[in-house]
Structure formats: C-alpha cells, structure tokens
C-alpha cells in the first residue's frame, strides 16, 4: 500500500511538472510567434493607384449626344459587360478611362466619333485586389479595397474580433509583396484605442486573426 501511494505521488508530481513545462513552452511559443514577423509599416498606399474594375461592379456608361446608348450596366462574373451595340466587352482589371476608350472603339463601328465617359457606381473590384479577413473576426468577409484604407477601417467593417481572438497575434499576408507576412496589434488598436497600431492596407491583403489559447 505504501509503495502504491509513493508511486501515485510520484506520478502526480511528474504530471504536474509536465503540465508546467508544457505551459511554459506554450507561452514561449506564443511569444516567438508574435515576434516572428516584422510590424506592418504604417504607410502602404500607392499615390499612383487607380481603381480597377471587377466582377460585380456596376458602371454607368455615358455616350455624349447619344442618350439611347447611355445606361448603367453590371460587370458579369466572367469580367465582361454588354450594352446597346456592344456585346461581351472585357472590363475586368481595366480602370474606367481605359474602359471608356475601349467602348469608344466598339461604338465607332456604328456612330461617328463617339465620346464616352465611364463612372463606376458600385464597387467590388477584381479578386486580386480585395481585402480578405479570416479567422476570429466577428464577421469574416471580403471587402473592396479603397485608397488609404486602414486596419481600423477593416475592423469597423467586420465588426471587430470575437472574444476568443488573439488580437495582438494577428498578421497581414501581403500578396503585393510576394506573400510577405507582417504582425499587427488588433487588441491594442480596438480594445485600448492605441492609434499607433493603425496601419494602411494594400490591395490584396489578407488579415489573419488567430484564436487565443488562454
């Protein structure tokens, strides 16, 4: 009986020590993970950025002196659009000015010297430029990129993070820089109001919000 009690005591002590070691290792692992990536730069927007049209956008085509040819049309899932006298014109990835010139070329077959203006009225953007939020966001979703869009703008759009989120362990995966990953401090930004944690987004960024293990 004495031997059994001693064995039990040693086993319990071993298990307790093992749990302590695992807890310390987990903490160190978490610290290493948070420090694995460089902080995201505060500024990232390109002053020369032009909006590119994507599937789901709505564009308003205005043909000067030809109101019967002027209308709003959607960009189809295949990235093309159709309007009077125009069928299956590629629009994906073009800026509004480029698309207007292409429409002028298409209409020139039917009317003399067409002058076209294209105005985007509903924005989705090409998939390659959309901002994606995954993980422990309150409402993970895809957002259209906007010039000078910030991390705080993204958090407002997705409703913040869940109670299980490791906010300061979040990262941005930046496809525009070869999928380079940066650390961001969501907890400091949205829970503590630390504006120094706010950074600009780039087209195609993926915000990854991990789950906290504590």
What is the C-alpha end-to-end distance of the chain, expressed in Å? 39
Of 3.10.560.10, 2.170.190.11, 3.40.228.10, 3.30.2130.10, the CATH number of 37-48+128-209 is 3.10.560.10
Burial label, 157 (beta-carbon count in 10 A; 0-12, 13-18, 19+): middle
Q: Are 42 and 199 in contact (CB under 8 A)?
A: yes
Domain boundaries, the chain: 37-48+128-209, 58-122
Q: For 86-99, what is each residue's pLDDT tens digit?
A: 999 999 999 999 99
Instruction: Say yes or no to pLDDT of 18 above 70.
Output: no
Give the pLDDT score at 53: 98
Give the pLDDT score at 35: 62
Q: For 35-79, what is each residue's pLDDT tens digit?
A: 689 999 999 999 999 999 999 999 999 999 999 999 999 999 999
With tokens 């002196």, the residue in question is: 65
With tokens 């958090």, the residue in question is: 155
Work out whether the CA dihedral 166, 164, 139, 55 comes out positive or negative. Answer: positive
Query: Which residues partner with 122 through β-bridges?
Result: 58
Q: What is the CA radius of gyration of the chain?
A: 26
Q: What is the DSSP string of 79-95?
A: SEEEETTEEEEE-TT--
Instruction: Say yes or no to pLDDT of 107 above 50.
Output: yes
Instruction: Say yes or no to pLDDT of 4 above 50.
Output: no
Looking at the chain, the whole-number percentage of residues with pLDDT higher than 90 is 82
8-state DSSP, 67: G
Give the pLDDT score at 14: 39
As a whole number of angstroms, the distance between CA 92 and CA 115 comes to 21
Instruction: Say yes or no to pLDDT of 17 above 70.
Output: no
Q: For 150-202, what is each residue's pLDDT tens digit?
A: 999 999 999 999 999 999 999 999 999 999 999 999 999 999 999 999 999 99
Give the pLDDT score at 213: 84
User: Does domain 58-122 correspond to CATH entry 3.30.1950.10?
Assistant: yes
As a whole number of angstroms, the distance between CA 11 and CA 22 comes to 16
Average per-residue pLDDT for the chain: 88
Q: Are 174 and 183 in contact (CB under 8 A)?
A: no
């Amino acid at each position: 009986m004495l031997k059994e009690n001693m064995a039990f005591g040693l086993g319990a002590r071993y298990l307790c020590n093992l749990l302590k070691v695992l807890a310390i290792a987990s903490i160190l692992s978490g610290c290493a993970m948070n420090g694995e990536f460089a902080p995201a730069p505060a500024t990232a927007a390109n002053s020369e950025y032009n909006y590119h049209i994507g599937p789901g956008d709505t564009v308003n085509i205005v043909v000067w002196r030809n109101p019967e040819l002027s209308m709003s049309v959607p960009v189809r899932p295949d990235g093309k659009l159709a309007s009077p006298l125009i069928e299956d014109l590629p629009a994906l990835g073009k800026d509004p000015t480029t698309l207007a010139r292409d429409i002028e070329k298409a209409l020139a077959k039917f009317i003399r010297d067409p002058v076209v203006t294209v105005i985007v009225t509903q924005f989705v953007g090409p998939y390659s430029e959309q901002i994606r939020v995954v993980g422990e966001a309150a409402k993970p979703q895809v957002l259209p990129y906007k010039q000078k869009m910030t991390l705080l703008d993204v958090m407002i759009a997705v409703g913040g993070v869940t109670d299980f989120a490791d906010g300061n362990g979040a990262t941005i995966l930046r496809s525009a820089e070869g999928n380079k990953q940066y650390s961001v401090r969501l907890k400091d930004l949205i829970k503590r109001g630390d504006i120094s944690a706010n950074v600009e987004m780039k087209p195609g960024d993926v915000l990854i919000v991990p789950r906290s293990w504590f």
